Amino acid sequence: MDRFEVIKGDITKQNVDAIVNAANHSLLGGGGVDGAIHRAAGPQLLGECKKLNGCRTGEAKITKGYKLPAKWVIHTVGPVWRGGNREEDTLLGACYRNSLELAVRNGGIKTVAFPSISTGAYLFPVDRAAGIAVQEIIRFLEINASIEKVLMVCFDDQTYRVYQEAAINLTRPQ
Ligand code: ADP
């Protein structure tokens, strides 16, 4: 699957049509990747987010990218890990699927970059999250031709290794 790639880097620096933000319910900014995206986009991003009335876990909303290289930011809210029996897997899969569906609906978005949703402050185990993320993205790309490229942008070496491994395992010809 050459339309999917795992890279190491900073999502705020990616030259793609849309980057995905691992936001919280309020959509009013936070730490981690959310804080980095708001800092790089500038205060106008918060201004637009304030009008969105928050976002439910697993769902996604879109704003402009303002000072980011990306034209759009898709905000999705990952599940907080609570041991694995609270629909965490389903909700994490929904984040990836709903973000990509929103990108398609918005029109003109051909390249999308994701961070590792929920595996920071929300404590979702990275191995498990990577399997779900890669599977959802690949499945989506297989049935949707309008998205040309999806990048999984990993911030640290460990996360990068885990997602690379998941990508190799899930994209290997059967
Ligand atoms: P969550 O609350 O969904 O767990 P976090 O922002 O705490 O979100 O962490 C999600 C992932 O994003 C972590 O792997 C973290 O290292 C990573 N991250 C933090 N800053 C950036 C960035 N600038 N670009 C890409 N990934 C980032």
pLDDT tens-digit map of 89-134: 999 999 999 999 999 999 899 999 999 999 999 999 999 999 999 9
**Pair 133, 166: CB distance under 8 Å:** yes
CB 105 within 8 A of CB 140: no
Average pLDDT over residues 18-44: 97
CB of 7 shorter than 6 A to ligand 1: no
- CA-to-CA distance for 48 and 28, rounded, in angstroms? 10
At 78-87, the pLDDT tens digits run 999 999 999 9
What number of other Cβ atoms are within 10 A of residue 49's Cβ? 23
Question: How many angstroms does the Cα of residue 31 sit away from the middle of ligand 1?
Answer: 8
pTM of the model: 0.98
Cβ contacts of residue 117 below 8 Å, gap of 6+?
A: 20, 22, 76, 78, 92, 95, 96, 124, 129, 133
ipTM above 0.90, yes or no: yes
Per the CB < 8 A criterion, the answer to whether 62 and 72 are in contact is yes
Residue 161: pLDDT over 90: yes
Has 2 been annotated as catalytic?
no
